[in-house]
Amino acid sequence: MRILLTNDDGIFARGIRELIMEFSKTDEVYVVAPKYRLTGVGGGVTFDRPLKIEEVSLSLGERKAFAVSGTPADCVILAVDVLVKNLDLVISGINDEPNVGDDIRFSGTIGACREAVFSEIPSIGVSLEYGDRGYFYEGAIKITRKLVDYIRNNPIPEGVFLNVNVPNVPIEEIKGIKIVRLGRRRYRDRVHTVFDPYGKEYFWIGGTPIREEEEDTEDFVLREKYIAITPLKVDETDYSFLEVMKKWRIE
* CATH number where 94 lies: 3.40.1210.10
Q: Say if 227 falls within a structural domain.
A: yes
pLDDT at 212: 79
Taking 50 as the pLDDT cut, the residues of the chain under it are: none
Q: Is residue 73 in a domain?
A: yes
**CA–CA separation, 15 and 186 (whole Å):** 26
Cα–Cα distance, 137 to 115 (Å, whole number): 25
Q: What is the mean pLDDT of the chain?
A: 95
| Bridge partner list, 203 | 193
Number of domains in the chain: 1
pLDDT digits (tens, 9 = 90+) for 201-218: 999 888 888 887 888 999
Q: Per-residue DSSP letters for 86-155?
A: S-SEEEEEEESS---GGGGGG-HHHHHHHHHHHTT--EEEEEEPP-SS----HHHHHHHHHHHHHHTTSP
The pLDDT value given to residue 135: 95
* pLDDT score, position 187: 85
Prediction pTM value: 0.94
Strands 201-205 and 191-195, bridge-based pairing: antiparallel
Provide the domain limits for residue 128: 2-184+212-245
> What pLDDT does residue 208 have?
84
- The pLDDT value recorded for residue 158 is 94
* Residue 195 belongs to a domain: no
Give the pLDDT score at 65: 98
Residue 86 forms part of a structural domain: yes
- The verdict on residue 168 lying in a domain is yes
- Residue 31 one-letter amino acid: V
CB within 8 Å of 206: residues ≥ 6 apart: 187, 190, 192
Quick one: pLDDT at residue 220?
A: 94
Query: CB under 8 Å to 138, separation ≥6 — which residues?
Result: 170, 171
Residue 87 within a domain: yes
Quote the pLDDT of residue 64: 98
Residue 34 belongs to some domain of the structure: yes
* Neighbour-count burial for 216-249, b at 16+ CB within 10 Å, e otherwise: ebbbbbbeebbbbbbebeeeeeeeeeeeeeeeee
Domain-located, residue 200: no
